[in-house]
Structure 1
């Protein structure tokens, strides 16, 4: 029996990429961000790093996809990009790079010496880890509430209405949903006195993990899924089944999913048929208006009953 060495080598390379691509890509992004701070150009380096990550993942999605059916066009690319620009791009950009665009006056009082109980004398990498864990508490509950409170679900449903996962719908969030999540996420570390640099690190890491989480790339995660929100976990979160979709709320880490027992990682393949039960309009403007129309209709039905 003959063996195709080329095919065997290709399979070995693919398995190697699947095993190490997620942690290596995240590590490289973190190293690039650290370099950006070191040369005092964190914004420029972040944007270049984020763009490079997108290009690499776009290539991997086409060469080694997790779900081939998710490569098919769903007609939502424009809406995905438009939501990203109006929610993550605008709202998170205002928070992350506030020093560049002139709104530091709003958070300067929280950055003064002696404010809060934050240990600013500790090494920065420890402060960043602390910020990730503490902010994750707010992000976890913002996400969970958005699933469990009907009014907020109307806004969060925009994100879950996708029928495939890939890097372009990473930032597909209604801007109301984004504001709610970001405010809850940064309020705790800011209230405790976390420095702006740690908050900037939080936003950069959240952006990197967010794109990695939504990528349609065949990857292996192992013990990483016990600590981080990986694509393997997030695919379950996009399931149409409530028992699966209302789980794995973590944004970057899954520590609070572990604490509040909402972490799942079944030993089977997650569903490829994802989305929501409600009917979502196809157009971007109609999607922006959809939650408000749904809420108004509910109010009218209550008034008429």
Structure 2
């Protein structure tokens, strides 16, 4: 149910982020940009598909909590007050996001799912929604499964999710915002824009959702001072419509099996034959 409620919360986001992006734009970009209708489809329809996966994750995590987790661990977590549970849940949840996100990039078969998200070439707050349901579900395995399995309270988990969703929209937003001396501690729009950059040096970097110190710790940080990314997207053709994007990973996997080449690169030159796929235009700044 939490995933469905998120969709209603999203209806408030344009009231905040649209004027915010107009006032502090990092790049000149139209509100009604290319691909907006597809992103609206993701916004309105993805929640229903992700709900099924999240329900299964919570059910399995609850089973682990009740049948496998030692009683001493459950008691230790449940004895913590909300003010202690919430920050711990946030730290654990983002660690899970970091590693599942990294897997989506470095495992070729998983990249075919995550490429749907990176296909966005005009980055703004709504790009955060442009994700395949399998992508969203897999990342929630990393973030939600340990929290439910350890028995964190609904209030602590809800706090983590609320912060994560708003942070995700902010990180993708088309705004000039870095965090100065905290740039290596917290994820800013500047930090995450580099993650979406198609520039060679920035690829497969900056995986964290909330805490950039995870990328510092695990050696995946890319945050050059005095520079900004000039192009976004992937190097191979991608579909542009919602249903075609949903189908993309399945056609891509079939093509990988047909070629007997499961060791494809993150952004291969040339694309799998996917209905609705179009060659992207040349990248342009702004």
TM-score normalised by structure 1 residue count:
0.73
Corresponding residue for residue 269 of structure 2: none
User: Aligned-pair distance for 1:230?
Assistant: 1.1
Alignment of 1:260-279 (within 5 A): 260-279=218-237
CA distance in 2, matches of 1:204, 1:111: 26
Name the residue aligned to 1:77.
36
Which of these two proteins has the greater Rg computed from alpha carbons?
1
Q: C-alpha deviations, 1:31-82, integer Å up to 9, x for none?
A: xxxxxxxxxxx999987865444312101212331111x3375431121122
- 1:149 maps to 107
1:58 is aligned to 18
The aligned residue for residue 216 of structure 1 is 174
In 2, are the aligned partners of 1:74 and 1:163 still within 8 Å (CA)? no
- Select the residue among 269, 279, 298 that pairs with 2:256: 298
Give the number of aligned pairs. 255
Residues 104, 289 of structure 1: alpha-carbon distance in 2 compared, 3 angstrom cutoff: closer
1:249-292 deviation per Cα after TM superposition (whole angstroms, max 9, x unaligned): 00122232121011221013222311100101111111111111
* Change beyond 3 A, Cα 1:151–1:242: farther
The change in CA–CA distance for 1:73 and 1:50 in structure 2 (over 3 A counts) is closer
State the alpha-carbon separation in 2 of the partners of residues 153 and 104 from structure 1.
25
Residues 280 and 71 of structure 1, relative CA distance in 2, 3 Å threshold = same
* TM-score normalised per structure 2: 0.78
Q: Larger % of helix: which? A: 1
Structure 1 position 104, deviation (Å): 7.7
Separation in 2, partners of 1:272, 1:164: 11
Distance 1:156 1:210 in 2: 15
Deviation at 1:245, TM superposition (A): 2.5
Match of 1:178 in 2: 136
Q: Unmatched 5+ residue regions in structure 2?
A: 262-286
Partner of 1:251: 209
Residues 1:105 and 1:179: Cα distance change in structure 2 (over 3 Å):
closer
| Counterparts of residues 1-305 of structure 1 (less than 5 Å) | 51-68=11-28, 70-71=29-30, 73-88=32-47, 90-91=49-50, 95=54, 110=65, 114=71, 116-117=73-74, 118-302=76-260
